[in-house]
Amino acid sequence: MADGVNKFLGDTPGRTIIKLIVVCLVVGFVLTFWGFTPNNIIGEIRYWFHDLWMNGFQALGKIGNYLVLGAIIVIPIFVILRLMSYRR
């Protein structure tokens, strides 16, 4: 089983944990340098999901409009091209 865990993690569990801690520290330093905090990031994620929920249905309506508009052009061209290739 240890070989399976090592294969999944790419290294031993101890070394993988140390690598993850180092990467987390570097990324945390860079994000702090740019002015991000955990509260900012969590708040933005919550806002994104809320905005998606509130405006998602409007976006689906717009996608439907785009689909119909494109179909008005694409479907007749497709049918014409199929009819022209059918004659050969």
Q: Are 19 and 11 in contact (CB under 8 A)?
A: yes
- pLDDT score recorded for residue 1: 66
Per-residue pLDDT tens for 4-32?
777 787 888 888 889 989 999 999 899 88
Say yes or no to pLDDT of 77 above 80. yes
- pLDDT score recorded for residue 46: 92
Instruction: Measure the CA–CA gap between 67 and 34, rounded to whole angstroms.
Output: 40
- pLDDT score recorded for residue 12: 86
Per residue, what are the HEC states of 26-86? HHHHHHHHCCCCHHHHHHHHHHHHHHHHHHHHHHHHHHHHHHHHHHHHHHHHHHHHHHHHH
pTM higher than 0.85, yes or no? no
